[in-house]
Amino acid sequence: MSEYDDATRLETGDDPTQRHGTFSEDWMIGNAVNGGLVMTTALRALGEHLAADPGETTEHVDPVVLSAYFMTASQPGPFTVTTEVMRCGRTLSTGQMTIHQAGDDGRPVERMRAIGSFGNLTDLEVQRQAAPAEMPPPDQCLSADQAPPGFLSNAKFLDRLDLRLDPDTAGWALGKPSMRGVMRGWLRLRDGREPDTTLLMLALDALPPVAFDLGLFGWTPTLEFTGHVRRRPEPGWLQVTLGSDTLGGGMMEEDAMIWDSAGNLVAQSRQLCGVRTPR
């Protein structure tokens, strides 16, 4: 079993709408559990709910779209995912996911609420897709191992990933952000677990924030994230690009696109982040 599968494992009890798991410190980034892991955990819960319900269309195994709103930062420790199936149609099954953890006073605190749809992306006929960005191959990119000492000490999450940044968009790590609002890199799980459609949602939110390339090194918490999965990824490296055109009023937008090892666009997302000044 891979680290990722282990981290998102859920247990069921008597209530078919509730599943329980434990967030690990190993997936933290800053003072929170990585939001991508929180989202894929929620998707796994809805997928298991759909599969377990004898009345539902069991071929809807691929998350196709997810909109997640983050209320409070997830912490290491137990959590509960509550799922609700909203509608099962011919093409998509749609449901809601909510993640709670016990707060300091023991009462449940909502971490994230999301709505998403599952479909089936087998043997998809694709008529139009964006071409992959041009960038050097992984062995000519910069790995986290080459980051300045102490730079990644606060990001255990990055130990789970093999992330290679395009040198052209990694100047921020040396104090020279390009100020274009661009980040490009290759990504795979360090334990060799191959990507699937659920894991793509984590990969869309796994690179360093594009804010770094704008010289903004404060915390940029995800407020809202919407990801679309376009097709099932081939095994191998994922090629991820981030961009941002909009920054103002203490918020910014971050757009991500992912191509698989066959050069096919497999996922894209947009998120709204807060922009906090570093202290």
The contact set with a second copy (CB under 8 A) reads 64-65, 67, 69, 71-72, 86-87, 91-92, 94, 96, 110, 113-115, 117, 119, 121, 124-130, 181, 214, 223-224, 226, 228, 230-231, 244-253, 265, 268, 270, 272, 274
Tell the residue number behind the tokens 């997936």, with chain if given.
27
C-beta atoms surrounding 48 within 10 Å: 16
User: Pairing relation of β-strands 32-33 and 161-165?
Assistant: unpaired
To a second copy, the closest distance from the beta carbon of 164 in angstroms equals: 25
Q: Which is nearer to a second copy, 149 or 248 (CB)?
A: 248
Q: What is the DSSP letter of 211?
A: G
Nearest Cα residue to 205 out of 7, 36, 63: 36
To a second copy, the closest distance from the beta carbon of 129 in angstroms equals: 6
Q: Which is nearer to a second copy, 2 or 129 (CB)?
A: 129
The answer to whether 72 touches 37, Cβ cutoff 8 Å, is: no
The CA–CA distances, whole Å, from 72 to 100, 129, 235, 245 equal 10, 35, 34, 26
Q: Which is nearer to a second copy, 75 or 244 (CB)?
A: 244
Token code pair at residue 122: 């087998």
To a second copy, the closest distance from the beta carbon of 251 in angstroms equals: 7
Q: Which is nearer to a second copy, 121 or 141 (CB)?
A: 121
To a second copy, the closest distance from the beta carbon of 189 in angstroms equals: 25
To a second copy, the closest distance from the beta carbon of 249 in angstroms equals: 4
Angle ∠(177,181,184) on CA atoms, nearest 5: 85
22/136 Cα distance (integer angstroms): 38
Q: Which is nearer to a second copy, 170 or 229 (CB)?
A: 229
